[in-house]
């Protein structure tokens, strides 16, 4: 079984303590959004979970305790970092902080277990194609030599 954390909400950013508690307790309950009376119990044990896939725009809250999951499970990380400021994504750290966090995550888990995502691409008067290309290029220059010390 593959567990995807972040399919409905950014669990890592907003519910780190809950997420760590669920893995510690060994199960999670999930309500079906289309059929609210249907609740499924998922066993979160190494013998039932093949991989935990994380999707987040902010891994900073979980970094100090990430080992509680990575020591027990195979893991993979999708990290979304985009060009937008607080006017579009008020709850997301800025580009510089996000890149620093991605580098730190890479030092912890290894760059082979991370995919950096740059999406969605919104086109507005402020966020033009030119700006996206410039931002992406700058980010790629910073992130491409991410260390892999693990």
Domain regions of the chain by residue span: 2-143
The mean pLDDT value for 2-13 works out to 92
149 pLDDT exceeds 50?
Answer: no
Spatial neighbors of 135 by CB under 8 A, at least 6 apart, are: 83, 95
Alpha-carbon distance of 134 to 44, in angstroms, equals 42
pLDDT, tens digit, 9 for 90 and up, residues 44-85: 999 999 999 999 999 999 999 999 999 999 999 999 998 899
DSSP class of residue 48 equals T
The structure's pTM equals 0.89
- Specify the pLDDT at position 82: 87
147 pLDDT exceeds 60?
Answer: no
Distances (CA, A) of 37 to 3, 33, 70: 22, 9, 33
pLDDT, tens digit, 9 for 90 and up, residues 22-48: 999 999 999 999 999 999 999 999 999
DSSP string, 83-137: S--TTT-TTS--HHHHHHHHHHHHHHH-GGGEEEE-------SSS-HHHHHHHHH
129 pLDDT exceeds 70?
Answer: yes
Confidence band, pLDDT 50/70/90 cuts, at residue 146: low
H helices, E strands: number in the chain: 5, 6
- Specify the pLDDT at position 150: 43
141 pLDDT exceeds 60?
Answer: yes
The mean pLDDT value for 105-120 works out to 94
């Amino acid at each position: 079984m593959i567990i995807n954390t972040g399919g409905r909400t950014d669990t890592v950013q907003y519910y780190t303590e809950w997420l760590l508690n669920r893995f510690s307790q060994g199960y999670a309950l999930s309500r079906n959004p289309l059929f609210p009376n249907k609740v499924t119990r998922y066993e979160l044990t190494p013998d039932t979970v093949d991989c935990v896939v994380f999707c987040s725009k902010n891994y900073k809250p979980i970094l100090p305790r990430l080992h509680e999951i990575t020591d027990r499970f195979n893991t993979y990380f999708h990290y979304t970092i985009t060009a937008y400021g607080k006017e579009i994504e008020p709850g997301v750290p800025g580009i510089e902080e996000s890149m620093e966090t991605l580098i730190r995550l890479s030092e912890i888990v290894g760059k082979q277990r991370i995919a950096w995502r740059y999406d969605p691409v919104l086109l507005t008067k402020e966020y033009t194609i030119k700006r996206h290309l410039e931002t992406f290029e700058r980010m790629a220059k910073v992130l491409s030599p991410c260390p892999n010390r693990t």
